[in-house]
Amino acid sequence: MNLTEIIEALRQKIAVPAGRHLYGVLGTYASLEAFAASLQQAKTLDGASFPKPLSVNRGILDAIPDDEFKRLAENEAKHPIPTAAHVKRAFEEFLRRVLSNGGIVILSDLELLFTYNTEMNLLRTLATDDSKLLLLLPGRRSGGRIVMFHEAGEGDYTLPTNLIADNHLWEIGD
């Protein structure tokens, strides 16, 4: 789909007052950046502006105090589980905070969630009724699954199956 088609489909979906409101846009980093810029120019059906994307990575890092982060980084190789637990807690804190005002929240930069294998069902659980989430996902559809970070060519990260309903997930065409 092109950017305009995705924005129009998104506008229609978020206008529905109740239900699950977790959406995703797939593409390269460059195409997602272009999409975010186009979205900034658009309005929702009720005339509101779309917000700027928020970095999940930055939100997680900001939620962990510097001294604690330094200690975690120093011990991560020997003890990765406490670091992953901190990332999970920081992500939950960040997500609840950004969704507290209602409306639509656009999230980008989700690399830390995949790196630390963070459970993502919280996204689905919290994205209902007044809290709407749009994920900008650097990935593509491949063989019935969503392959993340395909541009990097390393690792095998996939979006969890059924996290986002198929009719709430769009891929930017070339």
Q: What is the pLDDT of residue 10?
A: 96
Query: Whose structure tokens read 């990575």?
Result: 57
Q: Is the pLDDT of residue 78 over 90?
A: no
Return the domain boundaries, the chain. Answer: 3-53+102-171
CA distance 130 to 114: 27
Task: Judge whether 59 and 112 are in contact, CB under 8 Å.
Answer: no
Is residue 155 scored above 70 in pLDDT? no
User: Residue 9 above 70 pLDDT?
Assistant: yes
- Burial (CB < 10 A; 0-12, 13-18, 19+), residue 152, is exposed
Q: Where are the beta strands (DSSP E) in 80-125?
A: 103-108
**In contact, 98 and 105? CB cutoff 8 Å:** yes
The torsion defined by the Cα of 1, 159, 136 and 134, in degrees rounded to 10, comes to: 90
Q: Tell me what pLDDT residue 60 has.
A: 94
What does the pLDDT look like over 34-77, one tens digit per residue?
A: 999 999 999 999 899 999 999 999 999 998 888 888 888 788 88
What pLDDT digit, counting tens, does each position of 81-131 carry?
888 898 999 999 999 999 998 889 999 999 999 989 999 999 999 998 889
**pTM score, whole prediction:** 0.92
Judged against a pLDDT cut of 70, whether residue 79 lies above it is answered with yes
pLDDT at position 154:
59
Contacts of 76 (CB under 8 A, 6+ apart): 83
Q: What average pLDDT does this structure show over 151-172?
A: 86
**pLDDT surpasses 90 at 167:** yes
Q: How many separate helices (H) and strands (E) can be counted in the chain?
A: 7, 6
Q: Say whether pLDDT at 152 is over 80.
A: no
